[in-house]
């Protein structure tokens, strides 16, 4: 588990953009299963989260259509919440960072770590906005 002071700025990066931090399985299940669209970002301490995933998630929110609910869980810190989110992302294997779009509790779009590593934030944001345009 990572120390709180290490992950604090990484948490704040998404929280300042309107993402609600989730810490328990119950809050994850409630957030994902609510009516409407929910973007879940599995945050991470890795470099690709800082350089690609978090900037892409924030950039994607500039789209006219966007998810109604924005939530995040932190891999390596919020184990219960991350496990609950990943259970709802099956059949995709666990990866962090990652992003999943749910509509009325159903997984409709997934971006895994291998879609994030080595790709610019703008390309990832474009992938997300295409999903928003289709599902939001």
| Catalytic center residues | 46, 48
43, 10 Cβ separation under 8 angstroms? yes
19, 71 Cβ separation under 8 angstroms? yes
Write down the H helix ranges in 34-109. 47-48, 54-60, 79-87
Q: How are the residues of the chain apportioned to helix, strand and coil, as percentages rounded to the nearest 5? A: 45, 20, 35
């Amino acid at each position: 588990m990572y120390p709180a002071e290490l992950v604090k700025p990484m948490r704040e990066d998404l929280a300042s953009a309107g993402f609600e931090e989730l810490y328990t399985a119950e809050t994850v299940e409630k957030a994902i299963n609510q009516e409407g669209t929910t973007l879940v970002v599995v945050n991470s301490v890795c470099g690709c989260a800082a350089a690609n995933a978090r900037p892409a998630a924030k950039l994607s929110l500039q789209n006219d259509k966007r998810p109604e609910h924005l939530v995040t869980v932190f891999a390596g810190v919020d184990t219960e919440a991350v496990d609950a989110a990943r259970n709802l992302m099956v059949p995709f294997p666990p990866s962090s960072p990652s992003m999943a779009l749910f509509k009325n509790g159903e997984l409709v779009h997934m971006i895994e770590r291998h879609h994030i590593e080595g790709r610019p934030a703008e390309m990832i944001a474009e992938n997300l906005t295409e999903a928003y345009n289709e599902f939001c």
